[in-house]
Amino acid sequence: MQHTTDSPALAHRALAHLRNKTTDQAPSTMVQPVGAYSDPERFRREVDRIFRHLPLGLALSIELPEPGSYRAMTVMDKPVLMVRGQDGVVRAFLNACTHRGAQICQPGSGRVQRLVCPYHAWRFDLQGQLTGLFGADTFGEVSPSTHSLVELHCVERVGVVWVQLTPGEALDVDAWLGGFAGPLGGLKLQDWHLYAQREIPGPGWKATWDGYLESYHHNTVHPNTVGKFTIGNLILHDSFGPHQRLVFGRKSLAELESVPEAQWDSVAESHMRRIHLCFPNLAISGILGDHCLVSQVFPGPTPETTITRQTVLSAREPVTDEQKAATAAFSDIALRAVRDEDYAIGFAIQENLRAGALQAFTFGRNEPGVQHFHKTVDIVMRTPVGQLPDC
């Protein structure tokens, strides 16, 4: 299920690090004042600029599998309704009836023939156009030109539905993804089976997101979960503008030394693990065993809180007892590694921030993904709204 065209080249890089006990590195260490994590005013400015004015991956294409499929959710206090039209196009709207503001669809997903307000039965088609209302003869004149649903810029690319939360703004999603569209497209997310979804409360946005960006902690934090399978402190780092790809070596990586390179196209991928990180909050982890984990980290109302929407994918719907057991085991280990290990550490970090225990964090040269993320935040904050950041 995973893109393997560049697997041999990545395997060469990973094996070189394994032999030399090295890893990809940033040019130097980086110091970040803890105010970047805890200052309420800075948090407010960053969340507004980054999450309300850039394209966000809000849903997978497979969550909206057919015409009439919808997904309703609140994102950064915005009620968002995504629906696939009869023409196959996914559109996004503010989930608010233009009459008196009632939610058209309750949070969650389902399938509808049309959109009907549960309050006064105003009706909209799947393209958001007002088509009728109860008691129209007695209500007075209203027009679809003024009372259709408020549309949000929405583009479906590489198996992901990208939405901008501010009405009237429309950045070029293809330009935003840039060269990252190739690696993302290779994952073929539109072909996976959606096995499970859940929401996980977490610590602050940056404290949480930092944990997705390095493997330096795997040996100590995850010895009984993902750390059993990956080599700690060995990472390949490639950036694509604001986005990143990390490659971890699996414990079996050394076995490639005895495999003829002519066979690496088909086998090298099984000895590595790729993490695709779409700025600012979407992580897609393609993992051996025909399973994939998608994580969306959304800041909460304060610098100390987040909600992670975790989606477990399998290559196909598990049918046999063996397939069901394997997928359930993957789902369980993903939940434990994130909720019970990563986020437990993150909550403790958050407490120390609240206590003023440190004035600054130091990011190592062996944490290039963490450094790239924080530098990207700074670049975006200097970029005017309506322009793509030059990362």
Four-way CATH pick for 56-170: 3.40.640.10, 3.30.70.2190, 3.40.50.280, 2.102.10.10? 2.102.10.10
Residue 286's pLDDT is: 76
State the average pLDDT for the chain: 96
Q: Which of 99-108, 159-168, 222-231 has the lowest mean pLDDT?
A: 222-231
Note the residue count of the chain: 391
Q: Do residues 366 and 28 lie in contact, with contact meaning Cβ atoms separated by under 8 Å?
A: no
- Residue 274 pLDDT > 50: yes
The CATH topology of domain 7-53+192-382 is: Naphthalene 1,2-dioxygenase Alpha Subunit; Chain A, domain 1 (3.90.380)
Beta-carbon contacts of 150 under 8 Å, excluding residues fewer than 6 positions away, are: 93, 94, 96, 98, 167
Nearest one of 361, 379, 363, 307 to 50, comparing CA atoms: 379
Residue 1's pLDDT is: 46
Residue 105's pLDDT is: 97
Residue 3's pLDDT is: 47
Tell me, what DSSP letter sits at residue 270? G
Alpha-carbon gap, residue 313 to 334, rounded angstroms? 11
- With cut-offs at 50, 70 and 90, classify the pLDDT of residue 141: very high
- Per residue in 277-303, pLDDT (tens digit) is 999 999 999 776 799 999 999 999 999
- With cut-offs at 50, 70 and 90, classify the pLDDT of residue 190: very high
Q: What are the φ and ψ backbone dihedral angles of 113, each rounded to 5 degrees?
A: -90, -30
Coil, strand or helix at 74: strand
Helix residue spans in the chain (DSSP H): 7-20, 35-38, 40-51, 136-139, 144-147, 173-177, 181-186, 205-210, 218-221, 264-267, 321-335, 343-354, 368-382
Sorted by where each begins, the domain ranges of the chain are: 7-53+192-382, 56-170
For residue 223, what are its two tokens?
Answer: 């010895």
Q: What are the φ and ψ backbone dihedral angles of 218, each rounded to 5 degrees?
A: -60, -40
Mean per-residue pLDDT, 38-55: 98
Query: Is 4 or 116 the better-scoring residue by pLDDT?
Result: 116
Long-range Cβ pairs for the range 263-268 (8 Å, 24+) = 264/7, 264/8, 264/11, 265/4, 265/7, 265/8, 266/4, 268/4, 268/7, 268/8, 268/10, 268/11
- Per residue in 305-360, pLDDT (tens digit) is 999 999 999 999 999 999 999 999 999 999 999 999 999 999 999 999 999 999 99
DSSP E strand boundaries for 95-165: 108-111, 115-116, 123-124, 130-132, 151-152, 154-157, 160-163
Nearest one of 120, 143, 119 to 131, comparing CA atoms: 143
For residue 152, what are its two tokens?
Answer: 């949000």
